[in-house]
Amino acid sequence: MQTYNLADWLAWMEAHHPRQIELGLERVAAVAARLTLDLSGARIVTVGGTNGKGSCVAFLEAILRTGGYRVGAYTSPHLLHYNERVRIDGSAVDDAPLCAAFSAVHAALADTSLTYFEFGTLAALWLFQRAALDVIILEVGLGGRLDAVNLIDADVAVLTTIDLDHQDWLGSDREAIGAEKAGIFRAHKAAVCADENPPRSVIAAARKVDANWYPSGSAFQFIAHEQNWNWSSQQLPRRADYDNLPLPTLPLPSAAAALAALHCLSCAISIDAIRTGLCAATLPGRFQRVRRGDVEVVLDVAHNPQAARWLAQQLAQTQLHRESRTLAVFAIMADKDVDAVIAALKPCIDAWYFGALPNNSRALVPAAIDNKLRVAGIEARTVSATIGDAYNAALAQARVGDRVVVFGSFFTVAVVLAQLQKEGMVDGG
């Protein structure tokens, strides 16, 4: 196994465990114990929630690094390359260190079987242990309570938003989902919540474990203006008032939660580092805007109703000319609330282009997408063989000043992002 390259390891990891998802900490904890993981030298921030997790991680990472701290970040899923999931000091980890980490985890398996995500999580933690980090930021993969990253006790736990997604695993309503996501809270440690209307189950979970509860709207507040925004807190361990902060390109509630998390850590951060970090924080596939000649391409991984509503709001706010059109390139997983996603974006879209996602059994087939769009009363529909063909069809129909918005899943965005990279429109990864 030690001679495997990265592609070999990833293929092995996908086939190793009989289930793609199997929540629970018992198996991953057993392997972690044999790895003798020790992250006590770094401060830990765990970020969970339905939407906005990746953005919150990006803000934390950018601000901390600007402030002079050495940071490790673990996120998922990736768009084009697995290496995107593990960053040390701002850079994706190269293939060779990842393979060494996978080899170390494999050697510690004994008779334990791990899922792809669990295996990768332990590999990331193994790398972080050896990197002399000041802060480690861990993004929850699914849920929270039984997610592999919850193996690690966080100094600060952040919940971004709580909404309906992954109901088959987390529960059918916000209360059930909130209870699962709040499982990352720890006794006497900070629990930051960006959701201004959190489920009662989240508040109850914080009280049950005696976490230090810091919700948006009371523990910290933010107000957006046309050109800037303000953030303040009177109830965090470090109090502050910041005026005229630069508006970020990523969701503002995630930025506000990141600032709250920073004020719960024992990290000295200057206002200059905060301003610079807010401007520097970017995330591929999150309202990523790319100029392609006279047409703008917008990439967004929105795949549930809440994320679709946010995308619709951004599209409405950024339309430059009333006569310009927005053309959708759309593919989505079959287990999502497709009707609600379509309903949220229908007012913003002039024409829909869709096709099959390659080698993806979870994706909704084009005929089913076509039927859902028809039922929603959408007449401007163009079906193509693949999502790549759908993107090219949309470009062919786009006029000067139009924009093409690509959304519905990470897989959808990845197809178009890869094409844009090949064309030299965005940086390669």
Q: Return the SS3 of 67.
A: coil
Q: What confidence tens digit (pLDDT) does each residue in 198-246 have? A: 999 999 999 999 999 999 999 999 999 999 999 999 899 988 999 999 9
Q: What is residue 428's predicted lDDT score, i.e. its pLDDT?
A: 64
CA–CA separation, 307 and 336 (whole Å)? 12
Environment class of 293 (CB within 10 Å of its CB; exposed 0-12, middle 13-18, buried 19+): exposed
Q: Return the SS3 of 129.
A: helix
Q: First-to-last CA distance in the chain?
A: 26
User: Which residues of the chain have a pLDDT value below 70?
Assistant: 1-2, 166, 169, 320, 428-429
HSE of 177, CA atoms in CB hemisphere, 13 A: 21
- The answer to whether 104 and 6 have CB atoms below 8 angstroms apart is no
Q: Provide the total of helices (H) and of strands (E) in the chain, helices listed first.
A: 15, 17
pTM, two decimals, is 0.95
87: closest CA among 286, 285, 283, 258?
283
HEC states along 151-204? HCCCCEEEECCCCCCCHHHHCCCHHHHHHHHHHHCCCCCEEEECCCCCCHHHHH
Q: What is residue 2's predicted lDDT score, i.e. its pLDDT?
A: 52
**Which residue is listed with tokens 């939660």?**
257
Q: What is residue 169's predicted lDDT score, i.e. its pLDDT?
A: 66
Core vs surface per residue 42-71: b (16+ CB within 10 A) or e: bbbbbbbbbbbbbbbbbbbbbbbbbbebbb
Total residue count of the chain as it appears in this document:
429
- The answer to whether 229 and 218 have CB atoms below 8 angstroms apart is no
Q: What is the dihedral of CA 183, 339, 298, 362, to 10 degrees?
A: 70
CA–CA separation, 186 and 156 (whole Å)? 8
Q: Return the SS3 of 244.
A: strand
Q: What is residue 176's predicted lDDT score, i.e. its pLDDT?
A: 92
Given CA atoms 270, 275, 279, 285 in this order, what sign does their dihedral have?
Answer: positive
Q: What is residue 234's predicted lDDT score, i.e. its pLDDT?
A: 84
Cα dist from 237 to 21, 74, 212, 262, 377, whole Å: 37, 26, 10, 10, 52
Using the 8-state DSSP alphabet, how is residue 289 labeled? E
CA–CA separation, 273 and 245 (whole Å)? 11
DSSP code string of 347-404:
GG-SEEEEEEPTT-TTBPPHHHHHHHHHHTT---EEEEEEHHHHHHHHHHHPPTT-EE
How many CB atoms within 10 Å of residue 110?
A: 8
Cα dist from 416 to 183, 317, 369, 422, whole Å: 36, 23, 19, 10
Q: What confidence tens digit (pLDDT) does each residue in 345-375 have? A: 999 999 999 999 998 999 999 999 999 999 9
DSSP code string of 75-88:
----SS-GGGGEEE
Q: What is residue 429's predicted lDDT score, i.e. its pLDDT?
A: 54
Environment class of 325 (CB within 10 Å of its CB; exposed 0-12, middle 13-18, buried 19+): middle
Rg of the chain, C-alpha, whole Å: 21
CA–CA separation, 372 and 397 (whole Å)? 23
